[in-house]
C-alpha cells in the first residue's frame, strides 16, 4: 500500500498537476508592524526566525503605514526594534535612497528625529 501511494504522489508531482501555494508575507508584515509599535524586539526577531526571513531581503518590500520599517520605528519611537533592524541591514542599504529618493538618515533630519537612538545607529553603521 505504501509503495502504491508513493508512486501516485511521484506521478502527480512529475506531471505538474500540483503547484505549491504561493507564500504571502501580508500577515508577517502586519505582525512586524505591530511589534514595532509595541517596541517588542524579541517578538520581532522571533517573527523573522519562525518564518525563515532574512530582513535584508524583504526590507524594501515591507512598509508600515507607507513608511519603511526604519522610518516607522523612528516615528513610533521604537528604539529597541529600530536598532535591531539597523544591525541586520547592510550599511550599503542604509546609505541608499528609499522609494521617495531620500535616505533614512536624511528623512530623520527632516522630521526632527536626528537625535533618536535609531538615527544615531544608522549614522554610525552607514558611516555618515
Interval 17-66: pLDDT, tens: 444 344 566 789 999 999 999 999 999 999 999 999 999 999 999 999 99
pLDDT at 7: 47
The DSSP line for 57-70 is: HHTTT--BTTB-HH
pLDDT at 27: 87
Is-contact 126 91, C-beta < 8 A? yes
Domain ranges of the chain: 23-126
Neighbouring residues of 103: CB distance < 8 A, sequence distance ≥ 6: 94, 95, 96, 97
- Please work out, in degrees rounded to the nearest 5, the angle formed at the alpha carbon of residue 48 by the alpha carbons of 21 and 30: 70
Interval 79-97: pLDDT, tens: 999 999 999 999 999 999 9
Question: Which position has the higher pLDDT, 50 or 14?
Answer: 50
Q: Whole-model pTM? A: 0.79
Amino acid at each position: 500500500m505504501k509503495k502504491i501511494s508513493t508512486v501516485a504522489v511521484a506521478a502527480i508531482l512529475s506531471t505538474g498537476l500540483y503547484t505549491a501555494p504561493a507564500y504571502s508575507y501580508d500577515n508577517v508584515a502586519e505582525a512586524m508592524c505591530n511589534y514595532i509599535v509595541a517596541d517588542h524586539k524579541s517578538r520581532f526577531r522571533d517573527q523573522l526566525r519562525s518564518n525563515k526571513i532574512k530582513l535584508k531581503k524583504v526590507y524594501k518590500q515591507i512598509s508600515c503605514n507607507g513608511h519603511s520599517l526604519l522610518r516607522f520605528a523612528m516615528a513610533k519611537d521604537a528604539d529597541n526594534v529600530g536598532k535591531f533592524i539597523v544591525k541586520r541591514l547592510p550599511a550599503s542599504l542604509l546609505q541608499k535612497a528609499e522609494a521617495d529618493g531620500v535616505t533614512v538618515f536624511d528623512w530623520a533630519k527632516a522630521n526632527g528625529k536626528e537625535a533618536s537612538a535609531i538615527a544615531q545607529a544608522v549614522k554610525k553603521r552607514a558611516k555618515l
